[in-house]
Amino acid sequence: MKDQNREAMFARVDEWIKSGRTLREFSSSIGLSKSCFEYWVRKKRKASVTSPSFLELSPLVKPIEDIEFLAKQPASVSQAQIVFIFPSGMCIKVYG
């Protein structure tokens, strides 16, 4: 029963998105308070966000500046076995 209610409300959220109406107008037209319908909108958004349980790592093609910088470093510094570069700019180097 819970899953049926959930799917029915998620269908209503999809219907609202396609309608082009404001959240207040749509929720009023289906007999729900604005705050109740907002709850279901948040719940659907949260349910549709999936986080990977495994993240594949692949080699990154280095920009020219990074290659030139590494070439100027001593051999011990430039020979990292694994380099992780995160979107924030943080870099983790693992040496063998």
Domain ranges in the chain are 2-48, 64-95
Answer whether residue 70 shows pLDDT above 80.
no
Of 37, 46, 35, residue with least CA distance to 16: 37
Which of 81-88's residues contact partners 24+ apart within 8 Å by CB, and which partners? 84/57, 85/60
Q: What is the pTM of this model?
A: 0.51
Q: What is the pLDDT of residues 18-61, one digit of tens each?
A: 998 999 999 999 999 999 999 999 999 888 877 666 767 666 65
